[in-house]
């Protein structure tokens, strides 16, 4: 029987030199619990800054369990993203820019851009930030 202690979260926050940038790494398979965690992290960022930029770095991405997330949670996540996100960059993973452009309301001006794994530096430059080194 798998233990929750063995489960590694698929979403990990990346600290940066900008307080109004939410950056994270998404690894492996994303469960509904991981999505709830991601939405909670975003809500914390929205509480600190009315408008933010977002950078998502996909590594070994294996998909998302959207079906396990309630429609109300999805709708709330979309509404909050529309209200708070200015610019969103993705590194690696699926080419979801065209898919997510429909996630934002047509009247909302959100810039979306996808970068290949070998273009990570350009992605960070595009959002105007750098990741902070891990404190180990």
The domains of the chain are located at: 11-127
Tell me the pLDDT of the chain (136 aa) as tens digits: 444 445 667 999 999 999 999 999 999 999 988 988 999 999 999 999 999 999 999 999 888 888 888 889 888 988 898 899 999 999 998 776 655 555 555 555 778 899 999 999 999 999 999 999 876 6
| DSSP summary character for residue 130 | -
Question: What CATH number is given for 11-127 in this structure?
Answer: 3.30.750.24
User: Rounded CA gap, 69 and 109, in Å?
Assistant: 26
* pTM for the full predicted model: 0.85
**CB distance 55 to 124 below 8 Å:** yes
Strands 11-14 and 21-27: antiparallel
């Amino acid at each position: 029987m798998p233990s929750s202690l063995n489960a590694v979260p698929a979403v990990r926050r990346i600290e940066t030199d900008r307080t109004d940038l939410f950056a994270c790494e998404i690894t492996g398979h994303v469960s509904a619990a991981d999505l709830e965690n991601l939405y909670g992290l975003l809500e914390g960022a929205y509480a600190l800054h009315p408008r933010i930029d977002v950078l998502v770095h996909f590594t070994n991405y294996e998909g998302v369990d959207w079906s396990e997330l309630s429609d109300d949670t999805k709708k709330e996540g979309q509404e909050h993203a529309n209200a708070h996100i200015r610019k969103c960059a993705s590194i690696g993973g699926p080419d979801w820019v065209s898919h997510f452009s429909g996630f934002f309301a047509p009247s909302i001006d959100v810039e979306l851009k996808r970068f290949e794994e070998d273009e990570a530096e350009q992605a960070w430059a595009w959002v105007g930030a750098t990741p902070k080194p891990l404190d180990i």
